[in-house]
Chains A and B, each alone.
Chain A
Amino acid sequence: GEDVEQSLFLSVREGDSSVINCTYTDSSSTYLYWYKQEPGAGLQLLTYIFSNMDMKQDQRLTVLLNKKDKHLSLRIADTQTGDSAIYFCAESGSAAGNNRKLIWGLGTSLAVNP
């Protein structure tokens, strides 16, 4: 079945780069997403990438997609304490028509140390 895997924890120093990794199984997914969740809050869409792209950059965020290895990464440059949160990877899934829905990873908890 469809599955998305992420490492559960990452700790970095303020100012360093963070790289959060994700692997997925469904090669027919059209979109792959990164969401951010701060404590006690809902999820916020950070960025997404089409499956026919290799890279997408948006200010401090860089998304890399390796379709051959079904590997997605999110790099946060110059990580700040405000980046401390849980980051979720999600894929759009391959179900057709009305049944298409997101497949979620368990989330990576990023801790930024001063």
Chain B
Amino acid sequence: DGGITQSPKYLFRKEGQNVTLSCEQNLNHDAMYWYRQDPGQGLRLIYYSQIVNDFQKGDIAEGYSVSREKKESFPLTVTSAQKNPTAFYLCASSIYKNTEAFFGQGTRLTVV
């Protein structure tokens, strides 16, 4: 079955530690996206990538980093520089230059 998989579903980290969230897709989509969701704030774009080895900052990139070494994979690292990392993180993908996005099931990150 084609789809987009995020892992893990729940993640706990201590303050000051970097943490990497996984996102893998087998839809052969060129574009991939990371969003952050907080209650009452909708979706905010962190980073996006339209093609392998290239990515752009979204609206709230500070404290995050990404890589796009393979078409299928777009991992997100939440660094210790992110002041308020506890949130629900959503990964999405779409066909190149087509904005219809398919979403993973999300990772809920809690930093204590």
Contacts and interface: CB of A to CB of B under 8 A. Distances in A.
A106 interface: yes
A31 B98 CA distance: 10
A98 interface: yes
A79 B70 CA distance: 42
Contacts of B41: 106
Contacts of A102: 99, 101
Contact of B42 (A33, A42, A88): A88
A40 interface: yes
A100 B58 CA distance: 12
Given A8-B40, A43-B90, A106-B40, A101 B103 contact: no
Interface string A17-37: 000000000000001010100
B97 A97 contact: yes
Contacts of A88: 42-43
Contacts of A43: 43, 90, 92, 101, 103
Interface stretch (B13-21, B73-81, B104-112): B104-112
B104 A42 contact: yes
B51 to A, nearest CB: 8
B42 A101 contact: no
B50 interface: yes
B21 to A, nearest CB: 13
B56 interface: yes
Contacts of A55: none
Contacts of B58: 101
B103 A42 contact: yes
Interface of A: 8, 31, 33, 35, 40-45, 48, 88, 92-93, 97-102, 104-107
Given A42-B106, A88-B43, 10 more contacts: A40-B108, A42-B6, A42-B90, A43-B103, A92-B99, A101-B99, A102-B101, A104-B42, A104-B43, A107-B42
